[in-house]
Amino acid sequence: MARIFMKGCEANAESAVRAGCRFFAGYPITPQNEIPEYFARRLPEVGGNFVQGESEVASVNMLYGSAQTGTRSMSSSSSTGISLYSEGISFMASARIPAVVVNVVRGGPGIGAIQPAQQDYLQATKASGNGGFRMIVLAPSTVQECVDMVYEAFDLAERDDNPVLILADGVLGTMMEPVELPEMKSDEEVAALKAKYYEKAIVGHPITDRKLGVPGSVGTGQEIRNIEAAAMYKTWDKDIRCEEYMTEDAEIILASYGISARISKAAVKDLRAEGIKAGLIRPITVSPFPYDVFKNLDFDRVKGILDVEMSIPAQMKWDVEYAVQDRLPIHECLRSGGQIMTKEKVMEEAHALVKEVL
Amino acid sequence: MMKKVYARTTGIQDKVSGFCPGCMHGTVHKMIGEVAEELGIMDRLVRAEGVGCCGLGQNYVSYDTTISPHGRACAMATGMKRSNPDSIIYTYQGDGDLASIGLAETMHAANRNENITVIFINNGIYGMTGGQMAPTTLLGMKSTTTPEGRDPEKGQGYPMHMCEILNQLTGPYYLERTTCTDPAHVRKTKAAIKKAFQNQIDGKGFSMVEIVTSCPTNWGMTPLKAVDFINSDMLKEYPLGVFRDRSKEEKEAE
Amino acid sequence: MERDLIAAGFGGQGVMMFGTLLAQGTTDATDKQVTYFPSYGAEMRGGTANCYVAISDDAIGAPVMDQVDDLVIFNDASLEKFIGKLKKGGTLFLNTSIVKTRPDRDDITIVEAPVTEMALEMGNAKVLNIIMLGVYVGYSQVIDKEVILKAIEHKIGAKRPQLVPLNNEAFEKGLEIGKAARK
């Protein structure tokens, strides 16, 4: 397969089209504008529909509407825009609608900064909207992973009848990297996917076979739905993905996801070159989170953890702390507000940790 | 030989509705069902209903139905129609849903001339939540949030006229306001609903029927008094008529 | 081996094209890993423009670095902003037509080229970035010159094939300066 040099946002969009995505609605917000722009050009070529929504609120509900027809559908936004998606995502999770949402995270809180950040971790993994629903949240660290995860996200969404979130960031959205694109699903395959969904789709049926899209209900109905959803979330243990790099003999562990993780990985190499036994744990699914990887660390050998993320205050650290409890000191290596993590910064904080614990 | 002259529409379920006495939702639901039968679209029909009393319709209609977040029915219908043009999609929204929280979605779906049908129930009040002020509440009309009557001097604004507002846009294809106070107006309303669906079948675009109705419960009136109030007050503020009919313009141009 | 650079200048000097040609060309013609990160701001035009490019045989960590091997500078403001990010022993490529100041560092090598004047002499001020790309490739030898010639054909030739010979010529001129400076 030939390598193509692509911008993260555009690679995301092309991968979605290849996965059979035929609907996109979105609203302009930096740094993800190249996603809607790409879809606006590309979807008409494959018989799909692009709508520029009048707001994020409208866009997420267009997504919700389209996804209910069994058409593979996606939307993207960034941080403050994703806040406006909350209600729509919550409705989709309650009504069990498969859809894919990409968050190209920028600085926050509030309007924050248009530059890259990782400040939506807790929102993405714990409470993307009201009601306590959950989503599979995939955190790519390269443009290639963006491509692979978007392609797969549609399958996961349809398997679970649940929205799936791709938690990217402004670096991944803006940077260019060589990628290999997945296979383009044929028109027949795309049509078959939609046909398969007909039994659930809200598209019109004979009245003897009526379909009802239900994002809520009265009486005990909602609790029954919540119990069903909770049971489904429990099946996600098999979906947990985590990269462990040089952890076999590591004495300090860098814990990091997404863009910060690839920077941390480079730092691990440099630390090893200095003779420091460093390793990296990179959650690839940040929801479900790989708690066991941290719980199962050899606490006699590992002396400390450095939580590396582009968020102040730290957010993923909550999950790491939950897994590790008080068994290890957890230091922080943080940037935020659009300031990008650098290897130099990680090295500095790693050295400080080493000095304290080794 | 007996001749069947009337049958209950298959578009509503055979059960007693929970709507308040004198509420006109039932009448409108019945007419939508009849229109769907007459146009032969029952198995393509999709209802995207708003939140509020209009969101109770899912329990009574018999065809595919989905519930949008409050105010977002036009956005949801946009996604549904674009991705499945064979469906015949209508939104069913109250005044709070369509004209307050969903104003932007309504305006922009109309502006894009989305090929959907909008049934807008205007009774000048929030029903399900217990009678708060709606954007369509008349001046002087008491509600639980305008206990002394709606007063623009108190920063409570003026009644919003959705047909007139949407008529400022180039986009929409058909806008009509009707009421259901007597058999003649019910028949007119049904004709308007039928036209609004026919437009969608013909691919013409955004068609809205605003139906001025009552809310006897929250207005604090008997059903009959509420009908009188529509005639004496509501229709003065919300005059009936066709505001936009591109099909007429097209015919005249021919 | 990983080699990182920052290119920076005014908007309109072709800084982003400098970076994309280098990165795109390397992707297309080699098996190397490449990242390109354009800085972005709220303004669409004006202000400064800069980008980061990393070329490596192995997986690349940070696409944005605090310390780089090479710094390609097209104006004074960018020199001031980025000189601190050049590694000890690194190389500074300067557009001497515009940049009048010199850094107060003796731990770096400076390669000078009056690329704005050269471009004007060639009759098209816009090719200054392509001349600089030649200087960079000629000096650093991070990739073969054919890689860039192909990229010019691919990226510029796709929309404006008539400009390919001019750009090729500009690139070759820069290449000579870069090679000469290496000696």
Q: Please check whether residue C56 touches A, CB under 8 A.
A: no
Structural domain spans, chain A: 4-237, 241-357
Burial class, A124, CB count within 10 angstroms (exposed 0-12 / middle 13-18 / buried 19+) = buried
Beta strand ranges found along chain B (DSSP E): 45-49, 64-67, 88-94, 117-122, 174-179, 207-212, 241-245
Structural domain includes residue B104? yes
Using the beta-carbon criterion (under 8 Å), do A265 and C28 form an inter-chain contact?
Answer: no
Residue B2 lies in a domain: no
Is residue B61 in some structural domain? Answer: yes
Fold type of domain A4-237:
Rossmann fold (3.40.50)
Per-residue pLDDT of chain B (254 residues; tens, 9 = 90+): 789 899 999 999 999 999 999 999 999 999 999 999 999 999 999 999 999 999 999 999 999 999 999 999 999 999 999 999 999 999 999 999 999 999 999 999 999 999 999 999 999 999 999 999 999 999 999 999 999 999 999 999 999 999 999 999 999 999 999 999 999 999 999 999 999 999 999 999 999 999 999 999 999 999 999 999 999 999 999 999 999 999 999 999 88
- Parallel, antiparallel, or unpaired: how do β-strands A113-116 and A100-107 relate? antiparallel
C151: domain CATH number?
A: 3.40.920.10
What contacts C26, CB < 8 A, 6 or more positions away? C32, C34, C55, C143, C147
| Tally of CA atoms within 13 A in the half-sphere of A77 that contains its CB | 25
C-alpha B109/C-alpha C42 separation (Å) is 30
Interchain pair C60, A344: CB under 8 A = no
pLDDT tens column, C13-36: 899 999 999 999 999 999 999 999
Selecting from C61, C63, C65 the residue whose C-beta is nearest the C-beta of A175 gives C63
Considering the domain boundaries, does residue B71 fall inside one?
Answer: yes
Determine the Cα–Cα distance for residues A247 and A255; give it in Å rounded to an integer: 11
The verdict on domain A241-357 having CATH code 3.40.50.920 is yes
**Would the CB atoms of A343 and C23 count as touching at under 8 Å?**
no
How far, rounded to the nearest angstrom, does the alpha carbon of residue B228 sit from its chain's CA centroid? 20
Residues of B in contact with A67 (CB under 8 A): 79
Residue C47 contacts A, CB cutoff 8 Å: no
Q: Is residue B226 part of a domain?
A: yes
- Taking contacts as CB-CB distances below 8 angstroms, the residues of chain B near A62 are 75-76, 78-79, 82
B116: domain CATH number is 3.40.50.970
**With the C-alpha atoms ordered C71, C76, C82, C83, is the resulting torsion angle positive or negative?**
positive
Of C24, C35, C66, the CB nearest to A175: C35
Instruction: Quote the domain boundaries for residue C22.
Output: 2-182
- Domain A4-237 matches domain A241-357 at the CATH topology level: yes
Contacts of C64 in chain A (CB under 8 A): 171, 340, 342
Tell me, rounded to whole angstroms, the distance of Cα C157 from its chain centroid. Answer: 19
Q: B109: domain range?
A: 25-253
How many domains is chain B partitioned into structurally?
1
Number of domains observed in the structure of chain C: 1
- List pLDDT tens digits, range A73-105: 999 999 999 999 999 999 999 999 999 999 999
Q: Pick from A176, A260, A264 the residue to mutate for testing the C interface (most C CBs within 10 Å).
A: A176
- How far apart, in Å, are the Cα atoms of A194 and each of A19, A309, B81? 13, 39, 15
Backbone phi and psi for residue B121, each to the nearest 5 degrees, phi listed first: -95, 110
CA dist A273 and A346 (Å) reads 15
B and C make contact (3+ CB pairs below 8 Å): no
Q: Cis (ω within 30 of 0) for the bond into A98?
A: no
The stretches of chain A forming alpha helices (DSSP H) are 8-18, 34-42, 56-67, 80-95, 121-125, 143-160, 170-174, 187-197, 221-234, 258-273, 291-295, 316-324, 343-357
User: Would you give the DSSP letter of residue A15?
Assistant: H
In a domain? residue B7: no
Q: Do C28 and A5 touch (CB under 8 A)?
A: yes
Dihedrals φ, ψ of A32, to 5°?
-125, 15
The residue among C125, C73, C127, C119 whose CA lies nearest residue C100 is C73
| Residue found by looking up tokens 């440099």 in the block | A270
